[in-house]
Amino acid sequence: MTASDLDTSLRVSALVKRIVRDDVRAMSAYHVPVSSGMVKLDAMENPYRLPDALRTELGALAADAEINRYPDPEARVLKAVLRDALEVPEGMEMLLGNGSDEIIQLLAMACARPGACMLGMEPSFVMFSMVARFCGLRFFGVRLTRDFALDTDAVIAAMNRYSPPLTFIACPNNPTGNLFDARAVETIIRNAIGLVVIDEAYHPFARTSFMPRLGEFPNLLVMRTLSKLGLAGLRLGVLAGSPEWIFEFNKMRLPYNVNVLTQLVTARVLKNPQVLSAQAARIRDERGRMINALGRIEGVKPYPSDANFIMFSVPGAEAVFQKLLNQHVLIKKLTGSHPALLDCLRVTVGTAEENDKFLVALAAALD
Ligand SMILES: *Cc1c(COP(=O)(O)O)cnc(C)c1O
């Protein structure tokens, strides 16, 4: 580096410090580990590819797509397909996002009155608290009970204390994998101050939903994503709820947030929803096999799962995670991220072959 390079670099640093928000400079970016060459069981992706004939058809669709034009900002064709595939009730509207992560952000931006607080559960999906911070909302996480159930009294007490305009409940929950009791969720919705968003990212693996009940509660929204079902690379999230809500949140959305290829390909794939639902069924079968296999390993305790991943505890989880990595098996390390997750790891359910590789590597790591 020359003296003048150094001078420029110092001037840039000084400018960054003056211009970028202090809280933003203090944040660390969401970390995605390198996964090439790994048995990749860290991110709840569907491990199966689409059938060859369908892939050929999607190739032709992409070839003919008018990528020189902006996408339909309202994604009308796709929304019609989604309404059927997701069984969005009549009279309810949809908002589409570039993944459901973007929808969380749109909701937060629209509700970020000065001093307002977002409520979430703990431990749960980290994006809720991250987005709250981006948007200048305070965040309060209500601890789940020891077996990771909803503590309805604590949630309602927190609502009375912080008056959150937004409360997010991931159901099934990530990273714990369990489905919350529907009556507990209902109690929270009925007593809520503000909106309750049920994040049903893992719906294909739980197959129970608040979607058909949207009309019962004026303060309920249901969020879905196609990521865990098998289209993670396309980035499409869906928020369903009363038109009055969707009308307001839609103003926060950048007009072309769902691109041409995502609209075309998703609409085509969901026209035959049984392709992806059959893959989800295989994943559910494998999940049962994995939970059994994990439970038979000395010292390993798998938690119940209604999702496409399994959280388990194992003594020395940090070292076990590293030994798996050394064997080119990438899962998710939870221990250290929250006190309730001490010695916990999370593995995504992959193909039978991938799962076997993971189980063999885990046995070797514990040897
Ligand atoms: C994975 C996940 C999402 C994110 O989904 P995208 O649509 O891919 O942005 C949302 N909520 C929960 C609980 C998740 O686990």
Which residue has tokens 């072309």?
Answer: 256
Give, for 121, the enclosing helix (H) or strand (E): strand 117-122
What sign has the CA pseudo-torsion 290, 177, 236, 272?
Answer: positive
CA dihedral (64, 65, 67, 69) in degrees, to 10, reads: 110
Binned at pLDDT 50, 70 and 90, residue 100 comes out as very high
What secondary structure letter does DSSP report for 3?
H
Which pLDDT value is given to residue 2? 84
Which pLDDT value is given to residue 28? 86
Which pLDDT value is given to residue 228? 98
Q: Is 199 in the pocket of ligand 1 (CB under 6 A)?
A: yes
Q: Show the tokens assigned to 90.
A: 């009549």
Which pLDDT value is given to residue 29? 85
Binned at pLDDT 50, 70 and 90, residue 126 comes out as very high
Binned at pLDDT 50, 70 and 90, residue 4 comes out as confident
Q: Please say whether the beta carbons of 333 and 314 come within 8 A.
A: no
Distance CA(294)–CA(304), nearest Å, equals 11
Which pLDDT value is given to residue 363? 96
Which amino acid would we find at residue 79? K
**Alpha carbon of residue 243 to chain centroid:** 24
Binned at pLDDT 50, 70 and 90, residue 32 comes out as confident
Q: Please say whether the beta carbons of 127 and 344 come within 8 A.
A: no
The mean pLDDT value for 27-51 works out to 92
Which pLDDT value is given to residue 101? 98
**Alpha carbon of residue 209 to chain centroid:** 16
Which pLDDT value is given to residue 153? 98
Mean residue pLDDT across the chain: 97
Q: Would you say residue 310 has pLDDT above 80?
A: yes
54 burial (CB, 10 Å; 0-12 / 13-18 / 19+) is middle
Percent of the chain with pLDDT over 70: 100
Q: How far is the CA of 201 from the centre of ligand 1 (A)?
A: 6
Q: Would you say residue 160 has pLDDT above 90?
A: yes
Atom of ligand 1 nearest to the CA of 228: 1
Q: Please say whether the beta carbons of 344 and 317 come within 8 A.
A: yes
Q: Whole-model pTM?
A: 0.96
Q: Which residues pair with 119 in a beta bridge?
A: 140, 167
Q: Is 103 in the pocket of ligand 1 (CB under 6 A)?
A: no
Q: Please say whether the beta carbons of 202 and 228 come within 8 A.
A: yes
The mean pLDDT value for 152-168 works out to 98
The mean pLDDT value for 184-192 works out to 98
Q: Is 174 in the pocket of ligand 1 (CB under 6 A)?
A: yes
Which pLDDT value is given to residue 239? 98
What sign has the CA pseudo-torsion 154, 159, 162, 166?
Answer: positive
Helices (H), 98-201: 100-111, 126-134, 152-162, 182-191
The mean pLDDT value for 145-150 works out to 97
Q: Is 169 in the pocket of ligand 1 (CB under 6 A)?
A: no
Residue nearest to atom 5 of ligand 1 (CA): 100
Q: What are the pLDDT digits (tens) for 330-366?
A: 999 999 999 999 999 999 999 999 999 999 999 999 9
Atom of ligand 1 nearest to the CA of 236: 7
Q: Show the tokens assigned to 238.
A: 């869906």
Among 199, 229, 349, the mutation site with the greatest number of ligand 1 atoms within 8 A of its Cβ is 199
Nearest C-alpha neighbor of 176 from the set 301, 328, 353: 301
Q: Please say whether the beta carbons of 345 and 312 come within 8 A.
A: yes
Phi-psi region of 325 (alpha: psi -120 to 50; beta: other; left: phi over 0): alpha
Binned at pLDDT 50, 70 and 90, residue 57 comes out as very high
